[in-house]
C-alpha cells in the first residue's frame, strides 16, 4: 500500500518517512486511532516503504520486487498477526491459519473494523466468535524470528488489535518487543490503548492517528456529492471504513423507509407471522446494515416527535418520509419515545457485541408492540 492512497495524515506520513531517511526507525511502534482511521493503512504503507528498493522521497516506488509482494501483502518478511478464533479442529489458533481471509478483508477495505472481521470469523464457524490473539501466536512468532530474514532489510511484524492479546500472550510477546532480533520492526495497530498492559505500552513508541476530516472523505469519494457524504458520515459515526462498506453495499435510505414502514405496520397489527418473517430477513442482512437500519429507525421516531411538537422547521426528512411521519406521529408521544430510544440504542449495542440478531430483532419487535400501545397522558391540541 502506498502513502499517496491515504487521504490527509500528512504530519504522520512525514514523520514515518523521515525516520527511514534519518535512519531512526524505532523497532517497536504503535499506531493508535479510532475505528475507521488510517492507522493500519499507514502501518502497511510504512512497512512497504521500509523495504522498497527504489524508495522515492515521498513514497514507495510501487513496482520493485519488494513492493509487488507488499501490494498483495504476501512478502515473506511481512508477518501479519490479528485476532482469530479458537477452533474445534486440531488447527492451532494462529493468524497463519486465517491469513488469506484477513488479506482479502483488508485489501478490500483497509479501514475495515474489528467487528467486521469478527463477523467473517463467525460466519466461518457458524457460531458467534469474540476473537483473540492467543499464546500459540507468540510461540510461533518466537520460532519464526529465530531464523534470519528471507530477503528484506527489515522484517515487519504487524499486530492488528493488540488489545485482543490476553495476559499470557502479552507477556510472551513482551520478550520479543523488548529485544527484537536485528532488522525486525514491530508495528502494533490499536484502537484502545487503555486495554494494553502497561509493560507493553512502555516498550512502544506511540503515534496517535486522528480521524479523517470531512475534506479527506470528500477526496476519498470524488464521485459522491458532498451532501451524500455528510449524510453517510453522520450515519456511520465518521468511520471511513463503514462509509466504504456503506457505499459498496449501496444501501439506500429508501429501502430503509419501506422496511421501517412495513415493520411498524406489522407491529401495530401485532402480526406475529409477518414479524417472524421480517426478523428472518433482518437477521440475514449483516451487522452493518442492521446497525444502520436501527439508526434510521431512531431518526424516524425523532422526526415523529418533532412533528408532534409542531416544529416542522426542524424536520430532516424527504418527501416520502414526510408522508409516513405525518401519519405515524400520532403513535409517538412523551410517554413512549424515551423507552423506544433506549431500546433501539441497547439493540445497537447488542449488535456490536455480536448478540444473535434473530433474538434481538424479535425481542425488539415485541417491545415495540408494547410501546405503541402507550397513549399520551395529554390530549393533543
Ligand atoms: Zn518499491
Give tens-digit pLDDT for 111-121: 988 888 887 88
- Does residue 212 surpass a pLDDT of 60? yes
What is the spatial distance between Cα 92 and Cα 136, in angstroms, rounded to a whole number?
7
- Tell me if 361 is assigned to some domain: yes
Give me the number of domains the chain comprises: 3
Average confidence (pLDDT) over 194-209: 93
Q: Are residues 161 and 275 in the same domain?
A: no
Beta bridge partners of 32: 190, 208
C-alpha cell at 221: 469519494
The CATH number of the domain holding residue 200 is: 3.40.50.300
- Ligand 1: centre distance to CA 248 (Å): 30
Average pLDDT, the chain: 89
- Tell me if 381 is assigned to some domain: no
pLDDT attached to residue 128? 63
- Ligand 1: centre distance to CA 310 (Å): 62
- Tell me if 306 is assigned to some domain: yes
Structural domain boundaries enclosing 51: 3-211
- Tell me if 157 is assigned to some domain: yes
Dump pLDDT digits (tens) for 294-332.
Answer: 988 998 998 898 888 877 777 777 778 888 999 999 999
- Tell me if 380 is assigned to some domain: no
Q: What sign results for the dihedral spanned by CA atoms 172, 82, 131, 95?
A: negative
C-alpha cell at 8: 490527509
- Ligand 1: centre distance to CA 110 (Å): 20
Q: Are residues 279 and 228 in the same domain?
A: no
Sort residue 238 into left (φ over 0), alpha (ψ -120 to 50) or beta: left
- Tell me if 378 is assigned to some domain: no
C-alpha cell at 109: 477495505
Q: Are residues 317 and 207 in the same domain?
A: no
C-alpha cell at 90: 486440531
- Ligand 1: centre distance to CA 326 (Å): 60
Segment among 81-85, 206-210, 230-234 with least mean pLDDT: 230-234
Cα angle 171, 177, 183 (rounded to 5 degrees) comes to: 150
Beta bridge partners of 190: 32
Burial (CB count within 10 angstroms: exposed 0-12, middle 13-18, buried 19+), residue 67: buried
Reported pTM:
0.69
Kind and range of the H or E element at 108?
helix 99-108
Q: Are residues 160 and 183 in the same domain?
A: yes
pLDDT attached to residue 245? 79
Burial (CB count within 10 angstroms: exposed 0-12, middle 13-18, buried 19+), residue 140: middle
Dump pLDDT digits (tens) for 142-154.
Answer: 999 888 777 778 9
- For residues 124, 118, 221, 247, the Cα torsion angle rounded to the nearest 10 degrees is 60
The CATH number of the domain holding residue 257 is: 1.20.272
- Ligand 1: centre distance to CA 4 (Å): 14
C-alpha cell at 191: 484502537
- Ligand 1: centre distance to CA 71 (Å): 10
Model confidence at 250, in pLDDT bands (50, 70, 90)? low
Name which residue leads in pLDDT, 165 or 239.
165
Q: Are residues 81 and 178 in the same domain?
A: yes
Q: What residues have their beta carbon closer than 5 A to ion ligand 1?
A: 52, 60-61, 64, 67
C-alpha cell at 185: 520492526
- The separation between the first and the last C-alpha atoms of the chain, rounded to the nearest angstrom, is 62
- Ligand 1: centre distance to CA 69 (Å): 10
Q: Are residues 223 and 271 in the same domain?
A: no
Q: Are residues 234 and 283 in the same domain?
A: no
Average confidence (pLDDT) over 228-253: 79
Name which residue leads in pLDDT, 55 or 238.
55
What is the spatial distance between Cα 289 and Cα 236, in angstroms, rounded to a whole number?
11
pLDDT attached to residue 314? 72
C-alpha cell at 301: 421516531
- Ligand 1: centre distance to CA 66 (Å): 6
- Does residue 381 surpass a pLDDT of 50? no
pLDDT attached to residue 154? 92
What is the spatial distance between Cα 380 and Cα 217, in angstroms, rounded to a whole number?
44
- Does residue 380 surpass a pLDDT of 50? no
Cα angle 49, 55, 56 (rounded to 5 degrees) comes to: 110
- Ligand 1: centre distance to CA 20 (Å): 14
Average confidence (pLDDT) over 207-215: 93
Q: Are residues 193 and 261 in the same domain?
A: no
What is the spatial distance between Cα 155 and Cα 140, in angstroms, rounded to a whole number?
15
pLDDT attached to residue 331? 94
Q: Which one-letter DSSP state was computed for residue 84?
A: B
- Ligand 1: centre distance to CA 48 (Å): 7
- Tell me if 379 is assigned to some domain: no
C-alpha cell at 223: 464521485
Amino acid at each position: 500500500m502506498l502513502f499517496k492512497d491515504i487521504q490527509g495524515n500528512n504530519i504522520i506520513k512525514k514523520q514515518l518517512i523521515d525516520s527511514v531517511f534519518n535512519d531512526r526507525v524505532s523497532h517497536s511502534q504503535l499506531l493508535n486511532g479510532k475505528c475507521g482511521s488510517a492507522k493500519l493503512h499507514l502501518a502497511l504503507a510504512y512497512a512497504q516503504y521500509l523495504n522498497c528498493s527504489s524508495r522515492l522521497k515521498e513514497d514507495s516506488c510501487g513496482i520493485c520486487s519488494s513492493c509487488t509482494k507488499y501490494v498483495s501483502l504476501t512478502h515473506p518478511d511481512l508477518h501479519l498477526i490479528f485476532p482469530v478464533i479458537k477452533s474445534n479442529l486440531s488447527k492451532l489458533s494462529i493468524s497463519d491459519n486465517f491469513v488469506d481471509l484477513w488479506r482479502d478483508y483488508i485489501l478490500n477495505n483497509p479501514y475495515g473494523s474489528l467487528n467486521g472481521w469478527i463477523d467473517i470469523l463467525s460466519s466461518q464457524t457458524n457460531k458467534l466468535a469474540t476473537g483473540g490473539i492467543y499464546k500459540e501466536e507468540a510461540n510461533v512468532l518466537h520460532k519464526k524470528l529465530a531464523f534470519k530474514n528471507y530477503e528484506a532489510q527489515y522484517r515487519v511484524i504487524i499486530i492488528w488489535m493488540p488489545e485482543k492479546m490476553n495476559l499470557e500472550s502479552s507477556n510472551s510477546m513482551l520478550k520479543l518487543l523488548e529485544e527484537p532480533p536485528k532488522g525486525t520492526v514491530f508495528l502494533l495497530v490499536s484502537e484502545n490503548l487503555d486495554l494494553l498492559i502497561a509493560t507493553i505500552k512502555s516498550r512502544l513508541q506511540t503515534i496517535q492517528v486522528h480521524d479523517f476530516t470531512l475534506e479527506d472523505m470528500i477526496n476519498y469519494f470524488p464521485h459522491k456529492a458532498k451532501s451524500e457524504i455528510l449524510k453517510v458520515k453522520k450515519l456511520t459515526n465518521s468511520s471511513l471504513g463503514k462509509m466504504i462498506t456503506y457505499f459498496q453495499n449501496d444501501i439506500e435510505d429508501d429501502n430503509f423507509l419501506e422496511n421501517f414502514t412495513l415493520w411498524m405496520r406489522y407491529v401495530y397489527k401485532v402480526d406475529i407471522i409477518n414479524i417472524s418473517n421480517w426478523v428472518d430477513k433482518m437477521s440475514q442482512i449483516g451487522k452493518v446494515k442492521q446497525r444502520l437500519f436501527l439508526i434510521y429507525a431512531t431518526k424516524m421516531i425523532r422526526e415523529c416527535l418533532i412533528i408532534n411538537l409542531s416544529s416542522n422547521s426542524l424536520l430532516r426528512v424527504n418527501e416520502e418520509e414526510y408522508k409516513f411521519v405525518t401519519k405515524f406521529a400520532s403513535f409517538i408521544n412523551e410517554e413512549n419515545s424515551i423507552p423506544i430510544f433506549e431500546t433501539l440504542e441497547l439493540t445497537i449495542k447488542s449488535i456490536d457485541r455480536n448478540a444473535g440478531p434473530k433474538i434481538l430483532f424479535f425481542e425488539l419487535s415485541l417491545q415495540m408492540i408494547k410501546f405503541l400501545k402507550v397513549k399520551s397522558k395529554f390530549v393533543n391540541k
